[in-house]
Structure 1
Amino acid sequence: MRNKEASMPDAANFTYKLNGRVVATDDAIVSGRAVRNSGGLDPASDYILIQIADRTSRSIGLEEAIDLRQMPQPEFLSFKGDSTFSFTVNERGWEWGAATISASDIYRYASIAEELELILDSAGDTVIPADGAVVLGGHGVERIRSREAKTVVIMINGRSRTIPRRKHSYREIALLAYPDADFEKFKYTITYLKGVHGAEGDLVEGEKIEVKNGMVFNVRRSDKS
């Protein structure tokens, strides 16, 4: 049943995202059950509903009222099951509906810049790989934080390499591809993609380049003669 305000002639339309899909409604206030039903989650009680807020998340009960007017961009995720898992990201409380959360989801939903790295405080400052995940539900609350990365993972000639996060010279990149590089005898042609701010181009003798996670280098060797 529509609330009175949403039934007024000048009522605004509201939207929210559920599992990435945009849902439109004329109701300013919706229940957790209604959000689940809008995604065909039946029975609604079989699903955990998580609201993504400002760098945090929380579970939403079936009969809990959600005022869409108070959210600039309402977003919800659903998980089949009956358990929620608590953890923190940069000291902000989170709830999740699965026993694991991927690093990519943490970056996305916590609005963490891709050049930062994720650290698992509760595991002795262990670095969480950008393509990795955190297992939740262990003893105690998992504590995750972000910091300036000390290393980055790049691709050179199709192989993954972990290197210090700093500017690297033409010769350093060539040596990563060819550890036996001979700069007197051979010429090394270096191209790169997915650089800082999406940069791509060539790296030549005498130049240095800032590296970032996911940057791709192709190095080709040819005889100078």
Structure 2
Amino acid sequence: MANAEDKLKAREFTVNGQTAYFDDNEVEGRDILNAVGLVPASEYQLILVKDRRTRLIGADTTLNLKKEAGGVLRAFRSDRTFSFTVDEISQLWGVAEMDVDEFLRHWPAPEGKEWVLELENEPDTVLRSGGTLNFEPEGVEDILSRQVKASKVLVTVFTTSGTFPAQGALRVDVDEVIATVLERAAKKLKLTSTAGWVVQVDGNDVNPSLTFAQAGLSGEIDLEWGAREGGGGA
């Protein structure tokens, strides 16, 4: 009985969160796409995610479902793939963007560590739930795990023109002046005029000329930055 159950389980596989069933353990990529109604197969990219690695499965590629048990398949209506690295291991994706929540499902952070984007002459950007990764040429290329630093704060700036950083939060020193983070946000979001804007945390005004430590801010911080109701701004 156990063998029959194992055999049945080996013929199941998850594609875009949907369970597909097959009559054999060895299935071509085209058959997998057809099983979940993604036709014609030639218009889709099929990617296997298993053990923190990704692999492109061609329409004519045979996949051994039993051997790849524990993995998941992601199908994208796309004619190209996008490259990035995770801890210096090459990966690929079928569209230019990935929700950070999905990234964290496939690549949970090692214990005591967090995922960061290291950008030249910029503070580390720490991936946070609700963020978005972009794999276009000017977007994310390398994601690295780093020890959580207790002396740092994680900061996200929310405006009506967008969120900075889009991927999650900046990791900065507690002695960083709040206004310097706002300046980076204004530059990235191309804000043309922020005169008269106010900064709030949990609905309370914060003086941007203070450091995070001076303002009593620690841990993960959401800065709400914009014109006060009835005021002006970009």
TM-score, length-normalised on structure 1? 0.59
Counterpart residue number, 1:133: 132
1:91 and 2:98 are equivalent in the alignment: no
Once the two structures are aligned, what percentage of the paired residues are identical?
A: 29
Task: Give deviations 1:80-105, integer Å, cap 9, x for gaps.
Answer: 11010111111222110001122222
Could you say what secondary structure the match of 2:105 adopts? helix
Say if 1:163 and 1:78 are closer, same or farther in 2 by CA, change over 3 A.
closer
Within-5 A mapping of 1:184-203: none
Task: Give deviations 1:46-72, integer Å, cap 9, x for gaps.
Answer: 111111111111211000010112123
- Counterpart residue type for residue 33 of structure 1: R
Q: Measure the CA separation in 1 of the matches of 2:77 and 2:141.
A: 22
Could you say what secondary structure the match of 1:35 adopts? helix
Q: Measure the CA separation in 2 of the matches of 1:138 and 1:42.
A: 29
- Counterpart residue type for residue 127 of structure 1: T
Q: Measure the CA separation in 1 of the matches of 2:155 and 2:140.
A: 28
1:101 and 2:103 are equivalent in the alignment: no
Deviates more, 1:62-71 or 1:143-152: 143-152
Task: Give deviations 1:176-223, integer Å, cap 9, x for gaps.
Answer: 76789xxxxxxxxxxxxxxxxxxxxxxxxxxxxx96799xxxxxxxxx
Q: Where does structure 1 lack aligned partners over 5 or more consecutive residues? A: 1-8, 155-160, 167-175, 181-209, 215-225
How far apart are residue 125 of structure 1 and its match? 5.7
1:12 to 7, 17, 22: 7
Say if 1:31 and 1:125 are closer, same or farther in 2 by CA, change over 3 A.
farther
Q: Measure the CA separation in 1 of the matches of 2:23 and 2:78.
A: 29
How far apart are residue 16 of structure 1 and its match? 0.7
Q: Where does structure 2 lack aligned partners over 5 or more consecutive residues? A: 157-168, 175-200, 207-217, 223-234
Counterpart residue number, 1:55: 52
Could you say what secondary structure the match of 2:12 adopts? strand
TM-score, length-normalised on structure 2? 0.57
How far apart are residue 31 of structure 1 and its match? 0.6
Q: Measure the CA separation in 2 of the matches of 1:152 and 1:91.
A: 24
1:34 to 31, 34, 44: 31
Task: Give deviations 1:141-163, integer Å, cap 9, x for gaps.
Answer: 81111223343469xxxxxx999
Deviates more, 1:31-40 or 1:138-147: 138-147
Counterpart residue number, 2:153: 151
Q: Is the 8 A contact 1:11 1:26 kept in 2?
A: no
Please, what is the CA RMSD of the aligned residues? 3.7
Q: Measure the CA separation in 1 of the matches of 2:21 and 2:111.
A: 31
Q: Measure the CA separation in 2 of the matches of 1:211 and 1:139.
A: 29
- Counterpart residue type for residue 147 of structure 1: R
Of the two, which has the highest radius of gyration? 1
